[in-house]
Amino acid sequence: MIAVLGRAPSKADTGEGVALRYADITVQVGWLEKPASGKQRRVFQVTATGANICTPSGICPGTTVTKVMATYGQPVSSKRETGKYLEYYSHQSSCWLQLSISGGAVQTISAVCQP
């Protein structure tokens, strides 16, 4: 990620790894398995907040939930301590698309992965 985005203007320890914070993107880097000597950290989440950072299908922060559902279909809806999310899972990957929602619009777009 650093080769693509450059050095992050700020970093924060998350307890699971490091959050690399750029203007409109946060990249979570850590171990997808138990940390061990010789194992490299991996990107396990990328979160976009900027209105110009969109999915290949044209869904961006600010897009209406109606357009999201017209584009991707029915999501899994999740309420968590941190807010409401629409999630789209893949049967071919351990990664999924997670959209935080507020007021009928997308607030953030995340690609999230687990081992």
Cα–Cα distance, 68 to 42 (Å, whole number): 29
What is the per-residue pLDDT across 63-103, written as a single tens digit (0 to 9) for each?
999 999 999 999 999 998 888 999 999 888 889 999 999 99
Q: Is the pLDDT of residue 41 over 80?
A: no
Could you give the domains of the chain? 2-113 (3.40.33.10)
What is the length of the chain?
115
62 and 106 in contact (C-beta within 8 Å)? yes
Helix (H/G/I), strand (E/B), else coil: 45: strand
